[in-house]
Chain A
Amino acid sequence: MSDLSHELLVVEDLSTTFNTMGGPLPAVANVSFTLARNETIGIVGESGSGKTVLSRTIMGLQPRTNVSVTGSVLLNGNQMVGASESFKRGLWGTEVAMVFQDPMTSLNPVMRVGKQIDESLRVRLGMSKQDAKARAIELLELVGIPSPAHRYMAYPGQLSGGMRQRVVIAIALAGSPKLLMADEPTTGLDVTIQAQILNLLDELKDRLKMSVVLVTHDLGVVATRTSRIAVMYAGRIVETGSTRDVFTNHRMPYTRALLDSSPKVANASHTRLVTIPGRPPNLLQLSAGCSFAPRCSFATDKCHQERPELQAADEPGHAFACWNPLPTQTEPAPHER
């Protein structure tokens, strides 16, 4: 159908602005990235950094009014920005599918889970009732649900949170999508279940040759499961690169602050967590400078007045937006702390 060499997802200069009573609110601003086939990209940022809006914009899920989207989202060659609802409906499920944050609210409480899976098989893929049921049970098995034929008849209220999230994943996989958007897929789950679900996603990605966009605020989640990471702050990507570069050779002070504020197993017990002072900026009153400047210990006058654009770092594919980047591991410090 389409040429396998090109990227599956190309996001270019994407901005999503909500027109609110208080003026335009740039929830996502000038975001660009690409995603190859069978690759996982992690989108990381704290609450309110625009991760969820970004993932919904890529899906083409915006409210009908009071929002303007500019830029381009090419999904397997299909332009999602400005596409009609019926065009997008043709792509949803088979080209792109979504795993939602909270398995407690993303399943219809009054419909048997099996029915929720074979709905899309029958409607979208035109399967017969029997085929759809057989396939749904297969999918339940694929996502690691024991005695799937029995669970097919269960209502969501009869399943635990981890099981429900597996069902949500099964529903997303029903149409064999090429791209899976996972918006904080483990936030609503216990830590032990989180690891199971993430490993499951990772395994399924390889088995079904999917690409995954993994949106999270938890760096631990993306560390081992993504090949690349984009760090978002106030609606912009402030650093992007291979997972390895972002973890070991980050240049943007915000990335450092984010890494410092995750708990580490190596720390002695009762070590206080490092926090980032201040709060994320009010998106209605952004300054002309770097959005992180008010919270940054390296900020200079220039940071407050002029916004840094993404600039390439030494490693290929690694870029950061900062006037006073942290030193690389080999290079001496350009500024004293």
Chain B
Amino acid sequence: MSNAILIEQASIVEKPEKKAPLGPLFWICVGWIALNFLGAIFANVLPLQNPLYQDYASINAGPSLHHLFGTDDIGRDIFARIVFGSRVSIAVGFGAMVIGFGIGTPLGMLAAYRRGRFDTFMTAFMYILLAFPAIIATIAVLSFWTPRSLLKIIIVIGLASVPLVYRVIRTAALAVSTKDYIIAAKVQGATDRRILLKELLPNIAPIGVSFLLIGVATVIALEGTLAFLGLSVSPPTPSWGNMINESRTVLQDNPWLAIFPSLALCLFLLSLNFIGDRLRNHFDVTEVKL
């Protein structure tokens, strides 16, 4: 082997750090989410019609200047109900996911990193929970845990999502924890806590965030299902989910009642996902952009 020739400088490749641009659509989405949040927070002080007021003079009316999105089958203003409904939907969507991820992420990471008996038992336990239909468990718990409140709904849905989060996080962490850089950190004398927080967590974060956003969407829809069964917030209080459910009976007479809350839900989730995607690209340091 000849090693006389050393091209010391040849191996240096300058790859500048360039971040992917966020683009105007990103800011439109951020604006939309912000608008939704502001609407939810300030619904009381905004110049909206009473979401509970039943105007029997205009039942199942289409969009007009007086009722921007029209009225439902008992004459309530759909626009006002959507703005007020965002409170329940956003609270349930994010609240339940905070609980689900708050419990599922540490357990999943620990199981994947430590393996052994803890992993075996934890995974078996979570899969047993997964095998049991979450919707039935949620219905059962909510039927008996009275009086019902938004907080209880958030807690129950959050706990029901733990096995799903656990499974996704554990799988992602399993793939990362066998990588050489984890072993490298270990043989540098790094503590387990440090490895979990500084090496493992940042590397599974993109997968976690993607799943979080899907989770928010699923949970908002799940709240609608519960509302349909009368197990969510009590009837006159609007939420996107229960508005969509209520609309099913009058779909032929008044499609607006289904379209507007669905549109609100759809745009909200679309914006969230788009923001998540752009942020991931923007902060991605693993792929070099030339």
Interface residues in chain A, defined as those with a beta carbon under 8 Å from any beta carbon in chain B? 59, 61, 63-65, 89-90, 92-94, 96-98, 100-102, 105-111, 119-120, 123-124, 144, 146, 154-155, 157-163, 168, 171-172, 174-175, 192-193, 195-196, 198-199, 220-221, 223-224, 265
Contacts and interface: CB of A to CB of B under 8 A. Distances in A.
A93 B188 CA distance: 4
30 contacts: A61-B183, A61-B187, A63-B115, A65-B115, A92-B188, A93-B187, A97-B188, A98-B183, A98-B187, A107-B181, A109-B203, A110-B203, A111-B199, A111-B202, A119-B188, A119-B194, A120-B190, A123-B189, A124-B188, A146-B12, A155-B17, A157-B285, A157-B287, A195-B2, A195-B5, A195-B6, A196-B6, A196-B7, A198-B3, A265-B2
A109 B2 CA distance: 33
B8 A196 contact: yes
Contacts of B188: 92-93, 97, 119-120, 123-124, 171-172, 174-175
A192 B4 CA distance: 10
Interface of B: 1-3, 5-13, 15-17, 115-116, 179-181, 183-191, 194, 198-199, 202-203, 285-288
Nearest to B12: A146
Nearest to B6: A196
A123 B191 contact: yes
Contact of B116 (A65, A105, A162): A65
B288 A158 contact: yes
Q: Which of B2, B181, B194, B286 has the most CB of A within 10 A?
A: B181
Q: Which 6 A-B pairs have the closest CB atoms?
A: A195-B3, A162-B11, A220-B1, A106-B180, A93-B189, A120-B188
A195 B1 CA distance: 9
Contacts of A109: 181, 203, 285-286
Contacts of B179: 105-106
A27 B92 CA distance: 54
B29 to A, nearest CB: 24
Contacts of B199: 108, 111
A61 B188 CA distance: 12
Contact of B187 (A59, A65, A105): A59
A92 B1 contact: no
A90 B285 contact: no
A21 B12 CA distance: 47
